[in-house]
Structure 1
Amino acid sequence: MKTFIKDFIAKKGIWVGMSLLISRLSAFLLSVFVARILSKEDFGAATFGLNFLTIFLAFSGFGAAQGVVKYGSSIADSLQKQLLFRYAFSYGLIYNFILTIIMLLVSYILYWEDFSKIYLIFLFSIRFLGMYLVEQKKAEYRAELDNQSFARFDIFLSVVSFILGVGCTYFWQLNGFIFSLCISPFFLFFYDRRLSFSLKKITFDDFKSKEFWRFSWTTAMTTQIGELVFILDIFFIGLLMQQQDVAYYKVSSMIPMNILVLGFIFMQTEYPKLCQHHRDKKYQYRFIFNYWKLFSAVGIVILAVGLFFDKPILSIFGNQYQNTEIYRILLFAAIISLIFRVLFVYMLASIGKTVWNLIISLFMLFATSLSLYLIIPEYGLEGVSYVTFVCLALSGIFPAFAYFYESKKI
């Protein structure tokens, strides 16, 4: 495991770790601040809008950023790599505008009787464009295997988002919070103004454009459905319960779900390298073994601290958030997801078998939706937390079985 950690550090993994920690910490602190400043109703409304946006966010640009990381990291020729970046950005931008129109149409169909929700989603469509630009730039840094530049860029945007969010929310309440969320991604132009747009068809040496987009949209669809499974609880609570219930559940889940960043630090650092070694079964198995050793120990420590200090941890959001039962259930769910789901979703993608992630995510989407719809009226928030626990456990165990089945063919 020492070699595993040293290799992670050599790949500038500390920078990636810092960026993800700062990103999550900034978002977490901003959420704490906003939860204290806004009423439960306003905080619940903002949470609803963000979760609706998240449903589409993973599919922005039809997954162009996903394809850039996968195929860009394996291109040796720098000119071909830059051509890929330009090609993916340009067509992805067009697809992103199409997806924005779809998002607005869906919001109108679902909430045509509630104009405030439609208007809120319309405002967040500005953030949707900004986040596409941000994710494309991040993907280019990762495809260059330049983790340090990726991390600096991410840290810059995280700090800007936090400062802007705190300032705007303090002075203008809910409207200020929404404004900060919409405008903060566009600060990328203060960091890197380079945008290259061209719709010229390009022929690549190692793959065809159809292969690129097939992988991109499949991975994006899988990510989108996977993210949707993660936020279905908030969606159904907002649909079947009150806005204050949305705020309460959001607070209870915030710390457990942010634990997953620890796994994402390693997987985002190692993923380009795993793609390069997608035919090296020995390399991949060794990585899995070391990941399990490290994060099993980390998970035990987190559970011990999280359960022992449950009340003090929740109290940072305010005295109105004191019930720890839901928090405890979701903490166990997060540890299981850290050990299995975070790892094997990336591992399947690294060997090009994202179709398994898609199939599993579709199944979990259906099963979770049906379970929440049936359970919420009878068992409320506690029932939601148990459904989430089972969902996160299965969405990690199923990909593990799929990966070991497919890896035998390598």
Structure 2
Amino acid sequence: MKSLRIFIDDFFRNKGQHVFFSLLIAKICAFLGSLFIIRILPENEFGILSIVASVFAIFTPFSGFGSQQSLLRFGSVTFDHAEKKSLAKYLLMKGFFYQILLSAIFLLVSFFYIKKYEDIFYIFLLFTIRLIGFYFLNHIQSEFRIFGNNRGFARITNVVNVFGVIFLLLLSYFFGLNGYLFAIAFTPFLALFWFNKEHYRSVAESFSFNKKEIWSYGLHASGTALLSDALFSADVLMLSFLMNETSVANYKVAILIPANITFLALTFMQSDFPVLAKNFKNKVFLTDYIANYYKIFIPISVLIFAVGFVFKAEILHLFFSNKYADNSWIFIVLLGGFCMNMLLRNLYGNLLSAVGKMKINTIVSFLTLFLLLLFSAFLVSRFGVIGMAISLSLSMIIGGFLLMYSFLIYLKDLK
């Protein structure tokens, strides 16, 4: 238990709690914003907004062609402050060029919808501004992280998200859709108040990393994020194709709580990412990290699953009304799947990312998505909605074991 106490002390010493709680606040703000806009917008406006938001979600992981992910990983690896600044400047300038290209492609997508939805170009335009704002926000956040300023990262994240949701609520209330679009388009640019010009003045392009390796990592990080998002969209799309809207509603209700429990593991590991990247060749550190992670998250996972199992019907009734209480076994299957996800996929996927093996993440994410489609094609027709729950859980668990196997091979090769 002594090693666990040291592990937790190091987490607080690195100000990891600031990152953890800022990401938690960001998630709460996003939920509140979504809940509010659903209530105040007419169905037709919300429908059009949802179309653009879905396209936006596809483009967001490719922000700067992965320049921010590369900055976080490679900037964490080097201990030289001058090299960090040089890398940040290079990735900001080069990434911004790619971001403009990406934003132009995003805006061009609107022309596929203009004939059917006459006001959609205007919505796409405001989301394009938001896409550029996100680029600056993510870059500045990554820069704070590589210099070990987790408190600064938390401050900028909290300001952008809290003020963002306040602006969204006020402007949406008084100006409807136009107010909402203005709020989401311009609030990410609040991050520019923390832009450190000193890091970019008279900084030569001088760093030891191979540029091809930097961009390969960034693109694979973007692809992995996209495939992970696709995994949690493909289940609904397959279910809507194989069954009906009632089945989709029951499944969405059953998965909502299980899918969100992984936030605990994800935010915890994101808080530790720079430390993990710095120690990517330290076999003892990585081995101890896995052991201590399990000391925390095995009890948490067992507790979550036990509470969910005992009070499954009550939980569904409390949060979603009594008409969804019959989905309790679907809920349990998914809860078990996501608990295993925390212990396998979340852990080893983030470790592989931190040690620079992002390509493995991309391959396994693709295989996991393929397995989901394969399993659901057989199981949904036989078992209905619970067949989809089994398909998703099995896919995540198999994908998690593949990631674990890949990381253990990497660990074994370290001296």
Which of the five TM-score ranges fits, normalised by the shorter chain? 0.7 to 0.9
CA shift in 2, pair 1:335/1:245, >3 Å: same
Which residue among 366, 369, 374 is the counterpart of 1:365? Answer: 369
| 2:318 maps to 1:347 | no
Alignment deviations for residues 164-186 of structure 1 (CA, whole Å, 9 cap, x no partner): 33334444555554544333322
Question: 1:72 — aligned with what?
Answer: 75
TM-score (norm 2): 0.83
Contact 2:87–2:205 (8 Å) recurs in 1: no
Which digits, 9 at most, give the CA deviation of each residue in 1:127-160, with x for residues without a partner?
2222221111111011111111111111112212
Distance 2:32 2:411 in 1: 41
C-alpha distance after superposition, 1:39-75 (max 9, x if no partner): 7776666555434322221121111011111111233
Moved over 6 A (4+): 39-42, 195-198, 237-248, 315-318, 373-380
For the 8 Å contact 2:85–2:199, the answer to whether it is kept is no
Deviations along 1:353-407, one digit per CA (max 9) or x if unpaired, are 2221111112223333455678778877555444332332223221111111222
Deviation at 1:121, TM superposition (A): 5.0
**Superposed displacement of residue 12, structure 1:** 0.5
Report if the CA contact (8 A) 1:49-1:117 is conserved: no
Q: Is 1:187 the counterpart of 2:190 in the alignment? A: yes
Cα deviations across residues 189-217 of structure 1 (Å, max 9, x unaligned)? 3x42556998x996534222222222222
Inter-CA distance 26–320: structure 2 relative to 1 (3 Å threshold): farther
C-alpha contact 1:348 1:354 (8 A) present in aligned 2: yes
Aligned AA for 2:140? K
The whole-number CA distance in structure 1 between the counterparts of 2:245 and 2:295 is 41
Aligned mates of 1:46, 1:232 — CA distance in 2: 21
CA distance in 1, matches of 2:197, 2:37: 33
Q: Runs of 5+ in structure 2 lacking a partner?
A: none
CA distance in 2, matches of 1:174, 1:242: 31
Partner of 2:92: 89
In structure 2, relative to structure 1, the CA distance for the partners of 1:105 and 1:244 (3 Å cut) is farther
Distance 1:74 1:58 in 2: 22
Q: How far apart are residue 221 of structure 1 and its match? A: 2.1
Q: Which moved more, 1:382-391 or 1:330-339?
A: 382-391
Q: Share of identical aligned residues, percent?
A: 30
Instruction: State the partner residue of 2:23.
Output: 20
- Letter of the 2:297 partner, please give it: F
2:407 pairs with 1:406? no
Aligned to 2:137: 134
Shift, 1:4, TM fit:
1.3
Larger of the two Rg values belongs to structure = 2
- 1:341–1:399: 8 Å Cα contact kept in structure 2? yes
- Quick one: distance in 2 between partners of 1:405 and 1:252? 36
Note if contact 2:367-2:399 (Cα within 8 Å) is conserved in structure 1.
no
1:337 and 2:310 are equivalent in the alignment? no
The 1:204/1:220 distance shift into structure 2, 3 A limit, reads farther
What residue is the counterpart of 1:265 in the other structure? 267
CA contact (8 A) 2:78 2:278 kept: no
Instruction: Give the deviation of 1:297 after TM superposition.
Output: 0.9
Bigger CA drift: 39-48 or 269-278?
A: 39-48
Instruction: State whether residues 65 and 216 of structure 1, in contact with CA within 8 Å, keep that contact through their aligned partners in structure 2.
Output: yes
CA displacement at 1:304 relative to structure 2? 3.6
CA deviation string 1:15-35 (max 9, x = no partner) = 112112211222233334445
* Greater displacement, 376-385 / 271-280: 376-385
**1:212 and 2:235 correspond:** no
Task: Write the distance in 2 (CA, Å) between the matches of 1:40 and 1:299.
Answer: 39
1:298 aligned counterpart, secondary structure: helix
CA contact (8 A) 2:262 2:342 kept: yes
Kept in 2, the 8 Å contact 1:251–1:317? The answer is no
1:277 and 1:246, CA in 2 relative to 1: closer, same or farther beyond 3 A? same
* Gaps in structure 1 of 5+ consecutive residues: none
- Contact in 1 for aligned 2:86/2:203 (Cα 8 Å): no
Is contact 2:250–2:324 with CA below 8 Å preserved after alignment? no
TM-score by length of 1: 0.84
1:198-251 C-alpha deviation (Å, 9 max, x unpaired): 8x9965342222222222222222233223223333555678888898777555
Greater Cα offset, 71-80 or 162-171: 162-171
Superposition pairs of residues 3-402 of structure 1, within 5 angstroms: 3-37=6-40, 46-104=49-107, 114-115=116-117, 119=121, 121=124, 123-172=126-175, 176-189=179-192, 191-194=193-196, 203-234=205-236, 252-307=254-309, 322-323=324-325, 324-325=327-328, 326-369=330-373, 382-402=386-406
Kept in 1: contact 2:73–2:356 (CA 8 A): no
* More off after superposition, 397-406 vs 373-382: 373-382
Q: Tell me the distance in 1 between the aligned counterparts of 2:28 and 2:215.
A: 34
Q: Identify if the C-alpha distance between structure 1 residues 108 and 377 changes in structure 2 by more than 3 Å, giving closer, same or farther.
A: farther
Structure 1 window deviating more from structure 2 (33-42 vs 216-225): it is 33-42
Cα deviations by residue, 1:333-369 (Å, 9 ceiling, x for unpaired): 3222111111111111222222211111122233334
Q: How many residues align?
A: 407
Rounded to whole Å, the distance in 2 between the matches of 1:11 and 1:290 is 16
